[in-house]
Structure 1
Amino acid sequence: MEQTSGGEGQRIADALERYHTRDLWDQWFGTVATTVPDHFESYVRILHRLGGRGEPERRWADIARARGTTVHPGVQFCRLARTGLNQNVDLDGYWQGPPAAGELDAGQLSVLAGLLTIHTATPEDIFHAVWVGWGGFEPGVGYGVPVSGDGNLAVAGGFREYFVFHGNGANLAQPPWFGDAGRLNAQSPNLAWPQDKSWCMATEIDFDSTVVGGSAELIAAVVHSLELEAVEVTPATDLSSEGDTVNMSFC
Protein backbone atom coordinates (compact mmCIF):
# COMPACT_ATOMS: atom_id res chain seq x y z
CA MET A 1 0.00 0.00 0.00
CA GLU A 2 1.15 3.54 -0.70
CA GLN A 3 -0.14 7.01 -0.02
CA THR A 4 -1.45 8.66 -3.18
CA SER A 5 -3.05 11.85 -4.43
CA GLY A 6 -6.27 13.08 -2.90
CA GLY A 7 -7.39 13.73 -6.47
CA GLU A 8 -8.17 10.02 -6.79
CA GLY A 9 -11.29 10.66 -4.71
CA GLN A 10 -12.35 13.92 -6.30
CA ARG A 11 -15.37 12.36 -7.98
CA ILE A 12 -16.68 11.37 -4.53
CA ALA A 13 -16.11 14.88 -3.22
CA ASP A 14 -17.94 16.29 -6.24
CA ALA A 15 -20.89 13.93 -5.74
CA LEU A 16 -21.27 14.94 -2.09
CA GLU A 17 -20.67 18.62 -2.71
CA ARG A 18 -24.20 19.56 -3.77
CA TYR A 19 -25.69 18.20 -0.54
CA HIS A 20 -23.40 20.43 1.47
CA THR A 21 -24.69 23.61 -0.20
CA ARG A 22 -26.85 26.12 1.63
CA ASP A 23 -29.94 25.19 -0.39
CA LEU A 24 -29.88 21.47 0.48
CA TRP A 25 -27.92 21.21 3.73
CA ASP A 26 -30.83 21.72 6.13
CA GLN A 27 -32.94 19.11 4.33
CA TRP A 28 -30.20 16.53 3.78
CA PHE A 29 -27.97 16.97 6.84
CA GLY A 30 -26.92 13.61 8.27
CA THR A 31 -28.39 11.52 5.46
CA VAL A 32 -26.81 8.69 3.50
CA ALA A 33 -26.48 11.05 0.51
CA THR A 34 -24.09 13.32 2.44
CA THR A 35 -21.91 10.30 3.23
CA VAL A 36 -21.66 8.30 -0.03
CA PRO A 37 -22.55 9.35 -3.61
CA ASP A 38 -26.24 9.02 -4.49
CA HIS A 39 -25.90 7.32 -7.89
CA PHE A 40 -25.63 3.68 -6.77
CA GLU A 41 -28.31 1.07 -7.33
CA SER A 42 -28.69 0.14 -3.63
CA TYR A 43 -27.39 1.06 -0.17
CA VAL A 44 -26.78 -0.68 3.13
CA ARG A 45 -25.93 0.39 6.67
CA ILE A 46 -23.70 -1.85 8.81
CA LEU A 47 -24.33 -1.36 12.55
CA HIS A 48 -21.12 -1.34 14.57
CA ARG A 49 -20.98 -4.05 17.23
CA LEU A 50 -20.80 -3.29 20.91
CA GLY A 51 -18.03 -4.69 23.08
CA GLY A 52 -14.96 -6.59 22.03
CA ARG A 53 -11.45 -6.11 23.41
CA GLY A 54 -12.33 -8.03 26.56
CA GLU A 55 -16.02 -7.04 26.71
CA PRO A 56 -18.92 -9.24 25.59
CA GLU A 57 -19.81 -8.60 21.95
CA ARG A 58 -23.45 -7.71 21.37
CA ARG A 59 -25.53 -6.65 18.40
CA TRP A 60 -28.06 -3.86 18.23
CA ALA A 61 -30.76 -6.55 17.98
CA ASP A 62 -29.71 -7.78 21.45
CA ILE A 63 -30.32 -4.30 22.84
CA ALA A 64 -33.66 -4.03 21.03
CA ARG A 65 -34.89 -7.29 22.58
CA ALA A 66 -33.84 -6.14 26.04
CA ARG A 67 -35.43 -2.70 25.71
CA GLY A 68 -38.52 -3.50 23.63
CA THR A 69 -37.37 -1.24 20.82
CA THR A 70 -36.89 -1.70 17.07
CA VAL A 71 -33.94 -1.98 14.70
CA HIS A 72 -34.82 -0.14 11.47
CA PRO A 73 -32.95 1.84 8.76
CA GLY A 74 -32.78 5.11 10.70
CA VAL A 75 -32.23 3.60 14.16
CA GLN A 76 -30.08 5.55 16.61
CA PHE A 77 -28.39 3.65 19.40
CA CYS A 78 -29.32 6.01 22.24
CA ARG A 79 -33.01 5.71 21.36
CA LEU A 80 -32.75 1.97 20.79
CA ALA A 81 -31.14 1.53 24.23
CA ARG A 82 -33.21 4.28 25.91
CA THR A 83 -30.11 6.04 27.23
CA GLY A 84 -28.55 9.44 26.82
CA LEU A 85 -26.36 10.21 23.84
CA ASN A 86 -23.02 8.34 24.04
CA GLN A 87 -23.90 6.77 27.39
CA ASN A 88 -23.31 3.19 28.49
CA VAL A 89 -26.25 0.79 28.72
CA ASP A 90 -27.02 -1.58 31.60
CA LEU A 91 -27.68 -4.97 30.04
CA ASP A 92 -28.28 -7.91 32.39
CA GLY A 93 -26.29 -6.17 35.11
CA TYR A 94 -23.33 -5.47 32.84
CA TRP A 95 -22.52 -1.91 31.76
CA GLN A 96 -21.95 -2.02 28.04
CA GLY A 97 -20.28 0.84 26.21
CA PRO A 98 -21.96 2.26 23.09
CA PRO A 99 -20.77 1.17 19.63
CA ALA A 100 -17.66 2.93 18.33
CA ALA A 101 -18.17 6.00 16.18
CA GLY A 102 -15.90 6.56 13.19
CA GLU A 103 -14.42 3.07 12.96
CA LEU A 104 -15.51 -0.43 12.02
CA ASP A 105 -13.95 -3.14 14.19
CA ALA A 106 -11.32 -5.41 12.64
CA GLY A 107 -13.56 -8.47 12.47
CA GLN A 108 -16.44 -6.71 10.74
CA LEU A 109 -14.06 -4.86 8.42
CA SER A 110 -12.49 -8.13 7.28
CA VAL A 111 -15.89 -9.66 6.48
CA LEU A 112 -17.14 -6.56 4.69
CA ALA A 113 -13.90 -6.18 2.73
CA GLY A 114 -14.25 -9.75 1.49
CA LEU A 115 -17.70 -9.02 0.11
CA LEU A 116 -16.62 -5.72 -1.44
CA THR A 117 -13.58 -7.27 -3.08
CA ILE A 118 -15.53 -9.94 -4.93
CA HIS A 119 -17.97 -7.31 -6.21
CA THR A 120 -15.43 -5.24 -8.12
CA ALA A 121 -13.56 -5.91 -11.35
CA THR A 122 -10.50 -4.10 -9.94
CA PRO A 123 -9.72 -5.84 -6.61
CA GLU A 124 -6.02 -4.93 -6.93
CA ASP A 125 -6.85 -1.23 -7.24
CA ILE A 126 -8.76 -0.05 -4.18
CA PHE A 127 -8.40 3.36 -2.57
CA HIS A 128 -8.58 3.87 1.18
CA ALA A 129 -9.04 7.25 2.88
CA VAL A 130 -8.58 8.08 6.57
CA TRP A 131 -9.65 11.31 8.26
CA VAL A 132 -6.65 13.55 9.01
CA GLY A 133 -7.91 14.38 12.51
CA TRP A 134 -7.37 11.02 14.22
CA GLY A 135 -4.78 11.35 16.98
CA GLY A 136 -1.76 9.12 16.44
CA PHE A 137 -2.52 8.48 12.78
CA GLU A 138 0.14 10.24 10.75
CA PRO A 139 1.65 9.08 7.43
CA GLY A 140 5.26 8.03 7.83
CA VAL A 141 5.11 8.32 11.61
CA GLY A 142 2.48 5.92 12.90
CA TYR A 143 3.19 2.20 12.66
CA GLY A 144 2.61 0.92 9.13
CA VAL A 145 1.08 4.15 7.82
CA PRO A 146 2.43 4.81 4.28
CA VAL A 147 4.04 8.11 3.33
CA SER A 148 4.88 10.14 0.18
CA GLY A 149 1.42 11.22 -0.91
CA ASP A 150 0.52 14.16 -3.12
CA GLY A 151 -2.14 16.19 -1.33
CA ASN A 152 -5.19 15.16 0.70
CA LEU A 153 -8.82 14.72 -0.31
CA ALA A 154 -11.03 17.61 0.81
CA VAL A 155 -14.79 17.04 0.88
CA ALA A 156 -17.39 19.80 0.92
CA GLY A 157 -14.94 22.67 0.97
CA GLY A 158 -12.89 21.11 3.74
CA PHE A 159 -15.79 19.91 5.90
CA ARG A 160 -13.81 16.65 5.95
CA GLU A 161 -10.22 16.05 4.86
CA TYR A 162 -8.63 12.65 4.31
CA PHE A 163 -5.28 11.00 3.67
CA VAL A 164 -5.68 8.75 0.60
CA PHE A 165 -3.88 5.43 0.05
CA HIS A 166 -3.74 3.04 -2.91
CA GLY A 167 -3.89 -0.66 -2.13
CA ASN A 168 -5.93 -3.80 -2.75
CA GLY A 169 -8.66 -5.93 -1.22
CA ALA A 170 -6.28 -7.59 1.24
CA ASN A 171 -5.21 -4.16 2.48
CA LEU A 172 -8.84 -3.22 2.97
CA ALA A 173 -9.48 -6.37 5.01
CA GLN A 174 -6.47 -5.59 7.20
CA PRO A 175 -4.77 -2.23 6.68
CA PRO A 176 -1.00 -2.36 7.25
CA TRP A 177 -1.27 -0.07 10.26
CA PHE A 178 -3.41 -2.61 12.14
CA GLY A 179 -0.38 -4.70 13.09
CA ASP A 180 -0.88 -8.08 14.74
CA ALA A 181 -4.55 -8.69 15.60
CA GLY A 182 -5.32 -5.01 15.04
CA ARG A 183 -3.71 -3.90 18.29
CA LEU A 184 -1.36 -1.14 17.15
CA ASN A 185 -3.73 1.19 15.30
CA ALA A 186 -7.27 -0.07 14.80
CA GLN A 187 -8.52 2.85 12.72
CA SER A 188 -10.50 1.51 9.78
CA PRO A 189 -10.70 3.53 6.54
CA ASN A 190 -13.31 6.28 6.65
CA LEU A 191 -13.78 6.03 2.88
CA ALA A 192 -12.93 3.26 0.41
CA TRP A 193 -13.69 2.72 -3.27
CA PRO A 194 -12.34 0.61 -6.17
CA GLN A 195 -10.85 1.91 -9.39
CA ASP A 196 -13.90 0.69 -11.35
CA LYS A 197 -16.21 2.83 -9.16
CA SER A 198 -18.56 -0.12 -8.54
CA TRP A 199 -19.09 0.73 -4.86
CA CYS A 200 -18.21 3.18 -2.12
CA MET A 201 -17.84 2.48 1.60
CA ALA A 202 -18.03 5.29 4.17
CA THR A 203 -17.58 5.34 7.94
CA GLU A 204 -18.34 8.95 8.83
CA ILE A 205 -16.33 10.02 11.89
CA ASP A 206 -19.45 10.91 13.92
CA PHE A 207 -21.54 7.84 12.99
CA ASP A 208 -21.65 4.47 14.78
CA SER A 209 -22.39 2.68 11.52
CA THR A 210 -20.80 2.19 8.10
CA VAL A 211 -22.62 2.85 4.82
CA VAL A 212 -22.01 1.15 1.47
CA GLY A 213 -23.47 2.07 -1.91
CA GLY A 214 -23.22 -0.43 -4.75
CA SER A 215 -25.04 -2.95 -6.89
CA ALA A 216 -28.20 -4.66 -5.67
CA GLU A 217 -26.28 -7.95 -5.64
CA LEU A 218 -23.56 -6.56 -3.37
CA ILE A 219 -26.01 -4.93 -0.99
CA ALA A 220 -28.05 -8.13 -0.71
CA ALA A 221 -24.87 -10.04 0.15
CA VAL A 222 -24.09 -7.60 2.96
CA VAL A 223 -27.65 -7.63 4.32
CA HIS A 224 -27.70 -11.44 4.40
CA SER A 225 -24.22 -11.86 5.88
CA LEU A 226 -24.37 -13.81 9.15
CA GLU A 227 -21.28 -12.00 10.45
CA LEU A 228 -22.61 -8.48 9.88
CA GLU A 229 -25.66 -6.71 11.30
CA ALA A 230 -26.93 -4.65 8.40
CA VAL A 231 -30.10 -2.95 7.18
CA GLU A 232 -30.89 -1.66 3.70
CA VAL A 233 -31.20 2.13 3.45
CA THR A 234 -31.76 4.80 0.79
CA PRO A 235 -29.92 8.06 0.03
CA ALA A 236 -32.60 9.91 2.02
CA THR A 237 -32.28 7.80 5.20
CA ASP A 238 -31.49 10.13 8.10
CA LEU A 239 -28.52 8.88 10.14
CA SER A 240 -28.33 11.91 12.43
CA SER A 241 -29.14 11.77 16.14
CA GLU A 242 -32.65 13.02 15.34
CA GLY A 243 -33.28 10.51 12.56
CA ASP A 244 -34.86 7.78 14.67
CA THR A 245 -38.59 8.53 14.64
CA VAL A 246 -39.57 4.97 15.57
CA ASN A 247 -37.85 4.67 18.96
CA MET A 248 -38.84 7.98 20.46
CA SER A 249 -37.09 7.88 23.85
CA PHE A 250 -35.00 10.96 24.60
CA CYS A 251 -31.32 11.21 23.71
Structure 2
Amino acid sequence: MQFSHVSATQGQWIVDSCATADPLTVVAQIPVGYERYARILHPAYDEDDQAVRWGTVANSRGHIFTAADLFETIAGWDAQGNPATEDAWEETDLPVDELPVEQWQALVKILSATNTKDYFVAGLWSGYAFIEGGERIQIDYEDDLELSEEENRAAEAAALAEAQRPAFTADVLATPALELGGGYRNYRLFEVDGEFLANPVWATTADGEQRQRPSLVFPQDHSWMLSTEPYDDCTLIGGSAQLIEAILQDPALEAIEVGQFTRIGHSN
Protein backbone atom coordinates (compact mmCIF):
# COMPACT_ATOMS: atom_id res chain seq x y z
CA MET A 1 0.00 0.00 0.00
CA GLN A 2 1.82 3.08 -1.28
CA PHE A 3 1.44 6.83 -1.71
CA SER A 4 3.91 9.55 -2.61
CA HIS A 5 3.63 13.30 -3.05
CA VAL A 6 3.48 14.71 -6.58
CA SER A 7 3.46 18.22 -8.00
CA ALA A 8 0.24 20.19 -8.22
CA THR A 9 0.97 20.59 -11.93
CA GLN A 10 -0.51 17.13 -12.41
CA GLY A 11 -3.88 18.70 -11.68
CA GLN A 12 -3.45 21.76 -13.90
CA TRP A 13 -5.71 20.19 -16.53
CA ILE A 14 -8.58 20.44 -14.04
CA VAL A 15 -7.88 24.12 -13.41
CA ASP A 16 -7.73 24.83 -17.13
CA SER A 17 -11.07 23.16 -17.76
CA CYS A 18 -13.07 24.29 -14.73
CA ALA A 19 -11.83 27.82 -14.05
CA THR A 20 -14.47 29.65 -16.11
CA ALA A 21 -17.43 27.35 -15.42
CA ASP A 22 -20.56 28.45 -13.59
CA PRO A 23 -19.56 27.63 -9.97
CA LEU A 24 -22.86 25.86 -9.30
CA THR A 25 -22.60 23.48 -12.26
CA VAL A 26 -21.11 20.02 -12.32
CA VAL A 27 -18.31 21.14 -14.66
CA ALA A 28 -17.06 23.59 -12.04
CA GLN A 29 -15.74 20.46 -10.32
CA ILE A 30 -15.41 17.87 -13.08
CA PRO A 31 -13.94 18.86 -16.47
CA VAL A 32 -16.31 19.22 -19.39
CA GLY A 33 -16.44 16.60 -22.12
CA TYR A 34 -16.97 13.25 -20.40
CA GLU A 35 -19.62 10.96 -21.89
CA ARG A 36 -21.70 10.88 -18.72
CA TYR A 37 -21.71 12.28 -15.18
CA ALA A 38 -23.15 11.05 -11.89
CA ARG A 39 -23.76 12.35 -8.41
CA ILE A 40 -23.13 9.79 -5.66
CA LEU A 41 -25.21 10.75 -2.65
CA HIS A 42 -23.74 10.49 0.84
CA PRO A 43 -26.10 8.89 3.36
CA ALA A 44 -27.40 10.52 6.51
CA TYR A 45 -27.47 8.62 9.80
CA ASP A 46 -30.41 8.28 12.16
CA GLU A 47 -30.35 8.27 15.97
CA ASP A 48 -29.53 4.55 15.92
CA ASP A 49 -26.50 5.23 13.71
CA GLN A 50 -28.14 3.53 10.74
CA ALA A 51 -27.53 4.87 7.25
CA VAL A 52 -30.51 6.53 5.59
CA ARG A 53 -30.66 6.97 1.84
CA TRP A 54 -31.99 10.10 0.18
CA GLY A 55 -34.56 8.01 -1.67
CA THR A 56 -35.97 6.77 1.63
CA VAL A 57 -36.45 10.35 2.79
CA ALA A 58 -37.98 11.41 -0.52
CA ASN A 59 -40.40 8.46 -0.55
CA SER A 60 -41.55 9.24 2.98
CA ARG A 61 -42.77 12.64 1.78
CA GLY A 62 -43.89 11.70 -1.71
CA HIS A 63 -41.15 13.90 -3.10
CA ILE A 64 -39.78 13.09 -6.55
CA PHE A 65 -36.28 14.45 -6.39
CA THR A 66 -34.24 15.63 -9.31
CA ALA A 67 -30.53 15.37 -9.94
CA ALA A 68 -30.06 18.94 -8.74
CA ASP A 69 -31.88 18.67 -5.41
CA LEU A 70 -30.11 19.30 -2.13
CA PHE A 71 -30.85 17.00 0.81
CA GLU A 72 -32.61 19.89 2.54
CA THR A 73 -35.07 20.11 -0.35
CA ILE A 74 -35.77 16.38 -0.20
CA ALA A 75 -36.19 16.47 3.59
CA GLY A 76 -38.37 19.59 3.64
CA TRP A 77 -35.88 21.64 5.62
CA ASP A 78 -34.83 25.26 5.40
CA ALA A 79 -31.24 26.34 4.80
CA GLN A 80 -30.46 26.00 8.51
CA GLY A 81 -31.69 22.42 8.65
CA ASN A 82 -34.92 23.20 10.47
CA PRO A 83 -38.31 21.75 9.41
CA ALA A 84 -39.92 24.00 6.80
CA THR A 85 -42.96 21.87 5.94
CA GLU A 86 -45.53 19.93 7.96
CA ASP A 87 -44.27 16.62 6.59
CA ALA A 88 -40.55 17.42 6.99
CA TRP A 89 -38.24 14.49 7.67
CA GLU A 90 -36.98 14.77 11.24
CA GLU A 91 -35.20 11.47 11.88
CA THR A 92 -31.66 12.27 10.66
CA ASP A 93 -29.05 14.97 10.58
CA LEU A 94 -27.46 16.23 7.38
CA PRO A 95 -25.62 13.65 5.25
CA VAL A 96 -21.98 12.96 6.05
CA ASP A 97 -19.29 14.85 4.15
CA GLU A 98 -17.57 11.80 2.66
CA LEU A 99 -18.67 8.37 1.51
CA PRO A 100 -18.73 5.76 4.28
CA VAL A 101 -15.92 3.22 4.06
CA GLU A 102 -18.03 0.41 2.61
CA GLN A 103 -19.47 2.63 -0.11
CA TRP A 104 -16.09 4.17 -0.86
CA GLN A 105 -14.55 0.74 -1.32
CA ALA A 106 -17.40 -0.33 -3.58
CA LEU A 107 -16.75 2.75 -5.72
CA VAL A 108 -12.98 2.17 -5.81
CA LYS A 109 -13.59 -1.42 -6.97
CA ILE A 110 -15.50 -0.09 -9.97
CA LEU A 111 -12.86 2.55 -10.69
CA SER A 112 -9.94 0.14 -10.35
CA ALA A 113 -11.49 -2.16 -12.94
CA THR A 114 -11.02 0.60 -15.53
CA ASN A 115 -7.35 1.20 -14.75
CA THR A 116 -4.95 -1.62 -15.60
CA LYS A 117 -1.87 0.32 -14.44
CA ASP A 118 -3.08 0.53 -10.81
CA TYR A 119 -1.94 4.13 -10.66
CA PHE A 120 -4.04 7.08 -9.53
CA VAL A 121 -3.55 10.69 -8.53
CA ALA A 122 -5.46 11.48 -5.34
CA GLY A 123 -6.01 14.93 -3.91
CA LEU A 124 -6.16 15.34 -0.13
CA TRP A 125 -7.89 18.50 1.04
CA SER A 126 -5.28 20.87 2.48
CA GLY A 127 -7.59 22.04 5.26
CA TYR A 128 -7.14 19.02 7.50
CA ALA A 129 -5.32 20.27 10.60
CA PHE A 130 -3.12 17.19 10.93
CA ILE A 131 -1.31 18.00 7.67
CA GLU A 132 0.52 21.08 8.93
CA GLY A 133 -0.02 20.57 12.65
CA GLY A 134 0.56 23.67 14.75
CA GLU A 135 -1.70 25.67 17.02
CA ARG A 136 -4.93 24.56 15.35
CA ILE A 137 -4.45 21.28 17.19
CA GLN A 138 -5.11 21.31 20.92
CA ILE A 139 -5.32 18.45 23.43
CA ASP A 140 -7.09 17.63 26.66
CA TYR A 141 -4.52 16.64 29.24
CA GLU A 142 -5.47 14.99 32.51
CA ASP A 143 -2.93 15.43 35.29
CA ASP A 144 -1.24 12.34 36.67
CA LEU A 145 -1.80 12.42 40.44
CA GLU A 146 1.53 10.69 41.00
CA LEU A 147 3.45 13.50 39.31
CA SER A 148 4.28 16.94 40.62
CA GLU A 149 2.78 20.08 39.09
CA GLU A 150 6.05 20.75 37.29
CA GLU A 151 6.21 17.20 35.94
CA ASN A 152 2.61 17.35 34.76
CA ARG A 153 3.19 20.61 32.91
CA ALA A 154 6.27 19.17 31.25
CA ALA A 155 4.35 16.05 30.24
CA GLU A 156 1.49 18.16 28.91
CA ALA A 157 3.88 20.30 26.87
CA ALA A 158 5.51 17.19 25.41
CA ALA A 159 2.13 15.68 24.51
CA LEU A 160 0.99 18.92 22.89
CA ALA A 161 4.20 19.20 20.88
CA GLU A 162 3.74 15.66 19.61
CA ALA A 163 0.11 16.32 18.69
CA GLN A 164 1.05 19.52 16.83
CA ARG A 165 3.84 17.91 14.84
CA PRO A 166 3.15 18.15 11.07
CA ALA A 167 2.17 14.85 9.48
CA PHE A 168 4.02 15.59 6.24
CA THR A 169 7.64 16.53 5.67
CA ALA A 170 8.83 20.10 5.15
CA ASP A 171 9.45 19.57 1.43
CA VAL A 172 5.83 18.48 0.92
CA LEU A 173 4.49 21.43 2.90
CA ALA A 174 6.72 23.84 0.99
CA THR A 175 5.31 22.70 -2.36
CA PRO A 176 2.29 24.68 -3.59
CA ALA A 177 -1.06 22.95 -3.34
CA LEU A 178 -3.43 22.58 -6.28
CA GLU A 179 -5.70 25.64 -6.17
CA LEU A 180 -9.05 25.20 -7.87
CA GLY A 181 -10.28 28.65 -6.92
CA GLY A 182 -12.47 29.93 -4.16
CA GLY A 183 -12.21 29.39 -0.44
CA TYR A 184 -11.40 25.85 0.61
CA ARG A 185 -10.67 24.36 -2.80
CA ASN A 186 -6.99 23.51 -2.41
CA TYR A 187 -5.47 20.06 -2.40
CA ARG A 188 -2.20 18.18 -1.91
CA LEU A 189 -1.72 15.66 -4.70
CA PHE A 190 -0.33 12.15 -4.24
CA GLU A 191 0.35 9.18 -6.45
CA VAL A 192 -1.42 6.17 -4.94
CA ASP A 193 -2.01 2.55 -5.81
CA GLY A 194 -5.35 0.80 -5.74
CA GLU A 195 -4.81 -0.75 -2.34
CA PHE A 196 -4.11 2.63 -0.77
CA LEU A 197 -7.01 4.27 -2.58
CA ALA A 198 -9.44 1.72 -1.17
CA ASN A 199 -8.10 2.05 2.36
CA PRO A 200 -6.19 5.32 2.75
CA VAL A 201 -4.09 6.02 5.83
CA TRP A 202 -2.37 9.36 5.34
CA ALA A 203 -0.66 9.51 8.73
CA THR A 204 -0.79 8.22 12.27
CA THR A 205 -1.02 11.09 14.74
CA ALA A 206 -1.89 11.61 18.39
CA ASP A 207 -5.54 11.32 17.28
CA GLY A 208 -4.89 7.97 15.62
CA GLU A 209 -4.89 6.98 11.96
CA GLN A 210 -5.97 9.68 9.52
CA ARG A 211 -8.20 7.83 7.05
CA GLN A 212 -9.90 10.65 5.16
CA ARG A 213 -11.16 9.75 1.71
CA PRO A 214 -9.43 11.81 -1.00
CA SER A 215 -11.34 14.75 -2.41
CA LEU A 216 -10.04 14.33 -5.96
CA VAL A 217 -9.08 11.17 -7.84
CA PHE A 218 -8.20 10.54 -11.47
CA PRO A 219 -6.14 7.99 -13.43
CA GLN A 220 -3.09 8.82 -15.49
CA ASP A 221 -5.08 9.03 -18.72
CA HIS A 222 -7.74 11.32 -17.19
CA SER A 223 -10.43 8.96 -18.50
CA TRP A 224 -12.53 9.72 -15.43
CA MET A 225 -12.40 12.03 -12.46
CA LEU A 226 -14.21 12.26 -9.15
CA SER A 227 -14.56 15.19 -6.80
CA THR A 228 -15.94 15.68 -3.30
CA GLU A 229 -15.94 19.33 -2.27
CA PRO A 230 -15.09 20.09 1.39
CA TYR A 231 -18.19 19.72 3.58
CA ASP A 232 -20.29 18.57 0.63
CA ASP A 233 -22.98 15.89 0.77
CA CYS A 234 -22.23 14.13 -2.51
CA THR A 235 -19.40 12.98 -4.75
CA LEU A 236 -19.42 13.94 -8.42
CA ILE A 237 -17.83 11.82 -11.14
CA GLY A 238 -17.44 12.04 -14.88
CA GLY A 239 -16.31 9.26 -17.17
CA SER A 240 -17.29 6.84 -19.88
CA ALA A 241 -20.88 5.73 -20.33
CA GLN A 242 -19.90 2.24 -19.19
CA LEU A 243 -18.27 3.49 -16.00
CA ILE A 244 -21.16 5.74 -15.01
CA GLU A 245 -23.66 2.99 -15.72
CA ALA A 246 -21.73 0.63 -13.44
CA ILE A 247 -21.88 3.20 -10.65
CA LEU A 248 -25.59 3.83 -11.16
CA GLN A 249 -26.33 0.10 -11.04
CA ASP A 250 -24.20 -0.77 -8.00
CA PRO A 251 -26.59 -1.55 -5.10
CA ALA A 252 -24.04 -0.39 -2.53
CA LEU A 253 -24.20 3.15 -3.90
CA GLU A 254 -27.02 5.67 -4.17
CA ALA A 255 -26.28 7.58 -7.34
CA ILE A 256 -28.23 9.71 -9.77
CA GLU A 257 -27.16 10.79 -13.24
CA VAL A 258 -26.53 14.49 -13.82
CA GLY A 259 -25.74 16.57 -16.85
CA GLN A 260 -22.49 18.44 -17.12
CA PHE A 261 -24.33 21.75 -16.77
CA THR A 262 -26.68 20.65 -13.98
CA ARG A 263 -26.75 23.39 -11.34
CA ILE A 264 -26.70 21.62 -7.96
CA GLY A 265 -29.19 23.22 -5.59
CA HIS A 266 -31.26 24.77 -8.37
CA SER A 267 -33.86 22.15 -9.27
CA ASN A 268 -36.60 24.39 -10.68
Name the TM-score, length of structure 2 as normaliser: 0.76
Unaligned runs of 5+ in 2: 134-162
Give CA-to-partner distance per residue, 1:145-171, whole Å, 9 cap, x none. Answer: 654534311113777211111101222
Contact 2:130–2:167 (Cα < 8 Å) also in 1 = no
Match of 2:101 among 86, 97, 106: 106
- Kindly provide the CA deviation profile for residues 13-61 of structure 1, in whole angstroms up to 9, marking residues without a partner as x: 1111122xxxxxxxx2211010110121111110001118961111001
Report the CA distance between 1:178 and its aligned residue: 8.3
Other-structure match for 2:7: 5
Task: Give yes or no for contact 2:247–2:253 (8 Å, CA) kept in 1.
Answer: yes
> Partner of 1:195 in structure 2?
220
Query: Percent identity of the aligned residues?
Result: 29
State the Cα deviation string for residues 122-152 of structure 1 (Å, max 9, x = none): 32x101102212333448x899965453431
For 2:93, the equivalent position in structure 1 comes to 97
* Structure 2 Cα separation of the partners of residues 171 and 88 of structure 1: 39
Equivalent AA in structure 2 for residue 204 of structure 1: E
Q: Return 126-135 or 73-82, whichever deviates more.
A: 126-135
SS of alignment partner, residue 55 of structure 1: coil
- Give CA deviations for 1:159-216 in whole Å, capped at 9, x if unaligned: 721111110122221112388xxx8434211111011211100001242110110000
> Using a 3 Å threshold, how does the CA distance of structure 1 residues 48 and 158 change in structure 2: closer, same or farther?
closer
Cα-to-partner distance string for 1:71-128 (whole Å, 9 max, x where unaligned): 3211211110001225277999973111023x222221111111111112432x1011
Distance 1:119 1:58, change over 3 A: same
Pair 1:215 & 2:251 matched: no
Secondary structure in 2 matching 1:176? coil
Does the CA-based 8 Å contact 1:190-1:204 persist in structure 2?
Answer: yes
The verdict on how the C-alpha distance between 1:156 and 1:230 changes in structure 2, with shifts beyond 3 A counting, is same
Give the direction of change, closer, same or farther, for the CA distance of 1:12–1:212 in structure 2 (3 Å limit): same
For the 8 Å contact 2:17–2:31, the answer to whether it is kept is yes
- Give 2:121's aligned residue: 127
1:168 aligns with 2:193: yes
Q: Root-mean-square deviation (CA), in Å?
A: 3.1
CA–CA distance in structure 2, aligned partners of residues 178 and 52 of structure 1? 30
Alignment of 1:40-79 (within 5 A): 40-51=34-45, 55-79=49-73
Moved more, 42-51 or 125-134: 125-134
Cα distance, 1:143–1:175 mapped onto 2, change above 3 Å: farther
The answer to whether the 8 A contact 1:121-1:196 is kept is no
Q: Secondary structure, in 3 states, of the residue corresponding to 1:18?
A: coil
Deviates more, 1:91-100 or 1:224-233: 91-100
